[in-house]
Amino acid sequence: MLQKKSILIIVVSVLLSGSPARAQYDEMGIVIGGSNYKGELSNHLFNTDFLHFAAGGFFRHNWDRHWAWKLAINYGKVSGDDAKSNDGFQLDRNLSFHSTILEVSPQIEFNFFPYETGSYQYPVTPYVFTGFSVFKFNPKADFGDETVELQPLGTEGQGFDGKKKYRRFSFALPIGGGIKISAGKIGIGIEVGARKTFTDYLDDVSTVYPDPVALRSNNGNLAVALSDRSFSSRDTLMVLTGIKGKQRGNSFDKDWYLFGGITLYFRVGSILRDICEPFKRRRYF
């Protein structure tokens, strides 16, 4: 009797869990869209003046019709320019930068509605995601006809008096969302995600102006030229911008970047079966 009850419990458990189990599947896809930045040189996370092309790819494992984990790799560009601001302090400061970003990000997704790619019963859902990102960056500035890497110059006095240069990789916390739509054997969607970074040097601007004499002595003339690019003729606040110890950035407000675009993805097993099917039917003599 006890054995029959045990078998009945197992059967019921399998039946109850059968739907989510059948919904487990893997996907691969790409995302094509844009990237943006928020920091000292751009006050808004989405600014069309600093919108750049971005692309990436991802692998996603769906645990069931609501939960999935994803490994994403994204590549894009970010930039900022004080000259495009309406703020008087930024116009006086007159700094600019651009950098590429290469990101690797494991993420967890939650679908608000049951969803399954290739299913007519569960064809669409909005979703949210979060996770963790590791990214590489390298801020540069255009100076005359040259493009100059800023980190080696130590524009805020890094590299002497015990002040270390910042690393050109960091971590970020992504948070975002989008919509998934099943279109036959493939899926399409839209996704936008902001990244709160753990660095304030994505744009090479964080603290205060260094002593220009010490900076020239230790890091050279180019470091001085790119540390303070203010012009007294445009000093709308009627103050000296680049003097030692004066505010250059805000180290308490870390930088952000954003990736977003159109996603296109497919079920790994389904596509592989379609590719292999003609070979299964072919006979060899």
Domain membership of residue 43 (yes or no) is yes
Q: What domain range includes position 83?
A: 23-148+164-201+252-280
Burial 223-256 (b: 16+ CB within 10 A, else e): bbbbbbbbeeeeeeeeeebbeeeeebbeeeebbb
Residue 196 to residue 76: CA distance in whole angstroms = 16
Weakest-pLDDT range from 173-187, 199-213, 267-281: 267-281
**Core vs surface per residue 124-135: b (16+ CB within 10 A) or e:** ebebebebebeb
**pLDDT greater than 90 at residue 273:** no
Residue 176 lies in a domain: yes
Q: Is residue 243 part of a domain?
A: no
Cβ contacts of residue 176 below 8 Å, gap of 6+? 128, 129, 130, 191, 192, 193, 194, 260
pLDDT 10s digits, 45-72: 999 999 999 999 999 999 999 999 999 9
Task: Report the pLDDT value the prediction gives residue 283, as an integer from 0 to 100.
Answer: 53
Confidence of residue 116 (pLDDT cuts 50, 70, 90): very high
- Say whether pLDDT at 284 is over 90: no
Percentage of residues in the chain with pLDDT exceeding 70?
A: 82
Over range 166-191, report the average pLDDT.
Answer: 97
Please tell me the predicted confidence (pLDDT) of residue 243: 84
**What are the residues facing 198 on neighbouring strands?**
none
**Confidence band, pLDDT 50/70/90 cuts, at residue 241:** low
- Residue 39 near residue 202, CB atoms below 8 Å: yes
Residue 265 lies in a domain: yes
Tell whether 234 is covered by a domain: no
- Euclidean distance between CA atoms 279 and 264, whole angstroms: 27
138 assigned to some structural domain: yes
Residue 68 DSSP SS3: strand
Residue 96's CATH number: 2.40.160.20
The total number of structural domains in the chain stands at 1
pLDDT of res. 74: 99
The SS3 call for residue 152 is helix
Can you tell me the mean pLDDT for 207-232?
A: 92
Percent over 90 (pLDDT), the chain: 77
Residue 130 lies in a domain: yes
Closest listed residue to residue 100, CA positions, set 28, 48, 182, 168: 168
What would the pLDDT profile of 72-97 be if each residue is shown by its tens digit? Answer: 999 999 999 999 999 988 999 999 99
- Is 64 a domain residue? yes
- One-letter amino acid identity for 182? S
Does the structure show a pLDDT above 50 at 6? no
